[in-house]
Structure formats: C-alpha cells, structure tokens
Copies of this chain bind each other. A is one copy, B any other.
Amino acid sequence: MTHQAISIEPRKLPRQVRAQATVDAILDATARILEREGLPSLNTNHIAETAGISVGSLYQYFPTKNAILTVIIRRKRQELLDELAEALGDMETENLDTTLDKLVEATIESKMNWPKLARTLEYADAFLPLAQETDDLKFQLVNRIAEFLEHHKIEGPRIVAQDIVAIVKGIIETASLAGQTDRASLKKRILRGVNGYLQLVG
C-alpha cells in the first residue's frame, strides 16, 4: 500500500526540455544544499523548495532521496574521470612530469570548487549501494595510472598508483579543511609529495 524505496536508479527519462530543466534544478539544488548546509540538512522538501519546484516533481524523476545523491556522485565522478583521462590521454608522447602536473591540477579543480560537497559525496558513497560501482571505477582509474607508470618503468605500479592518488587526495582535503585556497602553492606541495614518493620507489 505504501513506501517502497528500493531501487536507486533514476525513475524516468526527461523527454521535454522543461523536464530536463527540472532534473537539473533538482541536482543543482541538492549540490547547493550539501555545500552550504551539509547532509543533515538535506531533505526532499528542502530540495524541492530550493529548486523552485514541488516535491511531486522531484519524485517524478527520482524514486528516493538517495537516488539523487547517487546521480550527483556519478556525475561528479564522471567529470573527474574525464578530466583525468584527458590528462593521461597522450601518455605515449608526454613525459612523466607534465602528466602528473595535469593530473594534480584536474584533481584540485574537482575537489576545491565545492569542497564540502566533495567530502560529503565521498562520505555518502559509503552508505549508498554503490560499492561495486565505486570499486570498479577506482580500479579503472588506478589501472589507467598504473599503465602510465609502467610505461615509465616504475615498479609495483598498481600500489604506487593507489598511493599517489591517496597523497593527492589527502593533501587537498586537509588543506581545504584548513581553509587554504591558494591552488598554486597547493599544487607545488602535492607534487612534492608525489615526486618524493616516486623517487623512493625505484
């Protein structure tokens, strides 16, 4: 008679232009609330209000609140992945330094624009049924970087790739929590960490 909320997949595809606008408004509103107020303040009425639509409309496109979170996570992830892929794209021709430089820059961009949002999504990932998907993506990303490292004769490339990612993320998150927003200096420090690590691998 009531309340199911099991699947997390988007409900129906927006066909008309205004429908797509509604979906976007929902996602934007959600992101904005997470950035400004945090997960505990996120509720569907608040989202609808912020998006300037009715709750009913929200549920036309998303079966549950978590489904919205899921879509945002997927989108943000895809964005980052695309940028990283671009950075890694020409690994045959470019040298190690240039590529690392690009990787770091892309990651900074992704995490520092909406830092609170980024952290919340990272956290939310843990309780959404996204485990497999998340693992797959991480696997892909790490693999991609590992290939690149291998091409440059670096040993144990998968572990190294994982640790590099960890270092980049670690320094960015800590700095963003400390309110440090100077991206140039941040990049310098991250590259120090990454390059330092690499030097000690051989």
Q: State whether A189 and B159 are in contact (beta carbons under 8 Å apart), knowing that A123-B123, A170-B167, A170-B170 are contacts in the complex.
A: yes
Contact between A123 and B119, CB atoms less than 8 A apart: yes
Whether, in the assembled complex, A50 has its beta carbon less than 8 Å from a beta carbon of chain B, the answer is no
Q: State whether A175 and B166 are in contact (beta carbons under 8 Å apart), knowing that A2-B5, A196-B195, A197-B193 are contacts in the complex.
A: yes
Contact between B175 and A162, CB atoms less than 8 A apart: yes
Whether, in the assembled complex, A163 has its beta carbon less than 8 Å from a beta carbon of chain B, the answer is yes
Contact between A201 and B192, CB atoms less than 8 A apart: yes
Whether, in the assembled complex, A138 has its beta carbon less than 8 Å from a beta carbon of chain B, the answer is yes
Complex Cα gap A4–B40 (Å) = 11
Classify the interface of chain A: helix, strand, loop or mixed: helix
A interface vs B, CB < 8 Å? 1-5, 38-40, 64-66, 116, 119-120, 123, 126-127, 138, 159, 162-163, 165-171, 173-175, 178, 189, 192-193, 195-201
Cross-chain pairs A/B with CB under 8 angstroms, 28 sampled: A1-B5, A1-B65, A1-B66, A2-B3, A2-B5, A3-B4, A38-B127, A39-B127, A40-B127, A119-B126, A120-B123, A123-B123, A159-B189, A162-B174, A163-B174, A166-B170, A166-B173, A166-B174, A169-B174, A192-B197, A192-B200, A193-B196, A193-B197, A195-B200, A196-B199, A196-B200, A197-B197, A199-B199
